[in-house]
Structure 1
Amino acid sequence: MRIVLWSTAIVVLVVLVGVVYEQVGRYRAARDFPAPGKMVDIGGRKIQLDCRGSGSPTVVFEAGLSVDGSLSWSAVQSKVAAHTRACSYSRAGLMWSDASDAPYSARQVAQDLHEALTRAGEHGPFVLVGQSLGGLYATSFTKYFGAEVAGLVLVDPSHPDQVARVAAFMTETRSLRSRIAVWLAWSGLLRAAAPSLLPQAPNQTARDSQAVHAFAPKSMVTQLVESDATDASLAEAGAFRNLGNRPLVVLTSMAPYTEAELRGMKITPEQGKQVQAIWEKLHEDMATWSSRSTHRLLPNAGHDIQFDDPAAVIDAVMSVVETVRADRDNGSH
């Protein structure tokens, strides 16, 4: 009985230490890493929105399925903001933004972003830039608020048919271990593991990486919710594939998958080549969604092109911005 009591006491003590560690970490995150830009009240909760520069059209960056929020675009935004207005933001529940009680959907993401832009006084025309799943969030925004969208850049975007097309190669990667870690975020476990789970990206500053780690326990809970809703989001976004004649650039990463990526996807190097070939074809299809599109292959960039090859993203964004300006000057749409 004495052993049981001592064991219980030790477990309770460890849990309490972990809870205190997590609460102190959250306090320090808010203190040491204030939100860039401003927090926009969209009706009882706030969305972090960081807008810089001046000029039209306004470029709006949409992050992929990651925990970085607006910091996903840190290697790109300031360069674009030197030429036109440029806004990045963190979706509900990521980084500084408050979580939402609404059911997760692509439409809800679009509505949150539109409300944040409107209440912050940001007006179209917008050029939307979306990476990975953020690409489909960008097309969904176009579906619901198309009158305000003048052009798009899709950075290694998700495709509505991707799950079906690669089903023969891919297996479920959302492991029980990662779910347990997220469920135990309150215990300080994720905070302690964040530096190893989320290594610093190329062209990412040490401070931005530290900010991502500081908010990781909160952001990773949201990331799991987004991940679980991916199939529904793909189906929802896939119902809209007509971007009209808006200028569109699709960027495709073609760097060979790393050993870590192959292990994560549970495929062989040869299967990796086949998956990449399918990925290229899917992006060729997305380029047909607009009558004015360009599809660019980037042989040296991985999935996070905005970090691996930020210049390619900047060039794509500015090419669309210049086309939109030329359309405006010519009185066309």
Structure 2
Amino acid sequence: MHIALGVAAFAALLVLAGIVYERLGQYRAARDFPPSGTMVDIGGRRIQLDCRGSGSPTVVFEAGLSVEGSLSWSAVQPRIAAHTRACAYSRAGLMWSDSSSAPHSAKQVAQDLRAALAKAGERGPFVLVGQSIGALYAMGFTRQFGPEVAGLVFVDPSHPEQVERVAGFMTESRSMLSRVGVALAWTGVLRAAAPVLLPRPPQRTARDAQAMQAVWAYAPKSLATQLAESDSTDSTLAESRDFRDLGSRPLVVLTAMAPYTDAELRGMKITPEQGTQVQAIWKQLHEEQATWSSRSTHRVLPSSGHNIQLEDPDAVVEAVLSVVRAVRAGGPAGSP
């Protein structure tokens, strides 16, 4: 009996210590890593928006399914800002942005972004740059606010039919371990595990290292949002099915075609041969997306993985500036 009570007391102390550790971590995150840009109130919630440079059109970056928020574009945004206005932001619940009580959807993402841009005084024409599922969020924005969108860049984009098109080779799986970790975030578990769960990518500058420290500091909050976004993937793909006409807006589609690593193959539970077949389907999906505009370019990057903005930022910068130049030469393309 005394042993059981001692074990229970020790467990309670561990939980209490974890709670204190998490609360201190939240305080230190706010103190040591203040938001870049501004916090824009969109009606009881704040969205972090980081706009730099000057000129038109304004480039707006939409991150993929990740925890980095606006920092996803740290290797690209400053270079674009040297040529025109460039805005990166963190979706609701990611990094500094307040969480939303509304169900996650592409429509809600677009409305949040539009509200943040308007409240901050940012005006179109916009060139939207979306990576992975961020490309579908960019499509959702174009659907709702088309007259403001002059051009787009898709960075290894998701496709509305991607799940069924690769179903013969792989099935989607979502980690139960990640769910448990998110559920226990209040105990400090996620904060302690952040450097392991979110390994440091190749560092180019001291600023990159500091950005990664910020990502780790906000990981408990951002990972919960990432899980919610992941759970909404099927509905996001469904939302995107019936809008594929970008008219004559300039569009560049970038496709990552570096062979899958062993770790990626294990994660997808497929063989190298199946990986080659999946990549062929991925390329075909992007070829189809390039047909969504009458003024499009499709570029295949044989040496880059999915996160092109980190692995080959030069390619993203070139694509974005080519669309900016096209918009400036021809003016904003009209709505379809």
In the alignment, the residues of structure 2 paired with residue 29 and residue 106 of structure 1 have an alpha-carbon distance, to the nearest angstrom, of 29
Residue 96 of structure 2 is aligned to residue 96 of structure 1: yes
Alignment of 1:195-274 (within 5 A): 195-203=195-203, 205-274=208-277
Deviation by residue 1:167-201 (Cα, 9 ceiling, x = unmatched): 12222321211111111111111111111111122
The counterpart of 1:310, out of the listed 302, 310, 313, is 313
Aligned to 2:108: 108
Structure 2: tracts of 5 or more residues without a match: none
The counterpart of 1:292, out of the listed 292, 295, 298, is 295
Alignment of 1:143-154 (within 5 A): 143-154=143-154
Amino acid at match of 2:258: A
In the alignment, the residues of structure 2 paired with residue 285 and residue 225 of structure 1 have an alpha-carbon distance, to the nearest angstrom, of 28
Work out whether residues 327 and 333 of structure 2, in 8 Å CA contact, stay in contact via their aligned partners in 1. Answer: no
TM-score when normalising by structure 1? 0.98
**Structure 1 SS opposite 2:88:** strand
Residue 282 of structure 2 is aligned to residue 279 of structure 1: yes
In the alignment, the residues of structure 2 paired with residue 153 and residue 84 of structure 1 have an alpha-carbon distance, to the nearest angstrom, of 15
Amino acid at match of 2:150: A
When the two chains are superposed, the root-mean-square deviation of aligned CA atoms in Å is 1.0
In the alignment, the residues of structure 2 paired with residue 81 and residue 50 of structure 1 have an alpha-carbon distance, to the nearest angstrom, of 11
Work out whether residues 75 and 203 of structure 1, in 8 Å CA contact, stay in contact via their aligned partners in 2. Answer: no
TM-score when normalising by structure 2? 0.97
Work out whether residues 151 and 247 of structure 1, in 8 Å CA contact, stay in contact via their aligned partners in 2. Answer: yes
> How many residues end up aligned between the 2 structures?
331
Aligned to 2:69: 69
Identity %: 71
Amino acid at match of 1:281: Q
Work out whether residues 47 and 97 of structure 1, in 8 Å CA contact, stay in contact via their aligned partners in 2. Answer: yes
In the alignment, the residues of structure 2 paired with residue 103 and residue 218 of structure 1 have an alpha-carbon distance, to the nearest angstrom, of 17
**Structure 2 SS opposite 1:55:** coil
Deviation by residue 1:22-44 (Cα, 9 ceiling, x = unmatched): 11111101100000000000000
Deviation by residue 1:284-308 (Cα, 9 ceiling, x = unmatched): 0000000000000001110000000
Aligned to 1:132: 132
Aligned to 1:122: 122
**Structure 2 SS opposite 1:123:** coil
Aligned to 2:4: 4
Aligned to 1:40: 40
**Structure 2 SS opposite 1:252:** strand
Give the deviation of 1:254 after TM superposition: 0.4
Deviation by residue 1:118-160 (Cα, 9 ceiling, x = unmatched): 0000000000000000000001100000000000000000000
In the alignment, the residues of structure 1 paired with residue 279 and residue 22 of structure 2 have an alpha-carbon distance, to the nearest angstrom, of 40
Deviation by residue 1:53-112 (Cα, 9 ceiling, x = unmatched): 000000000000000000000000000000000000000000000000111110000000
Alignment of 1:146-165 (within 5 A): 146-165=146-165
In the alignment, the residues of structure 1 paired with residue 255 and residue 203 of structure 2 have an alpha-carbon distance, to the nearest angstrom, of 19
In the alignment, the residues of structure 2 paired with residue 323 and residue 56 of structure 1 have an alpha-carbon distance, to the nearest angstrom, of 12
Give the deviation of 1:203 after TM superposition: 4.8
Deviation by residue 1:247-276 (Cα, 9 ceiling, x = unmatched): 000000000111111111111111111110
In the alignment, the residues of structure 2 paired with residue 26 and residue 237 of structure 1 have an alpha-carbon distance, to the nearest angstrom, of 36
Structure 1: tracts of 5 or more residues without a match: none
Amino acid at match of 2:35: A
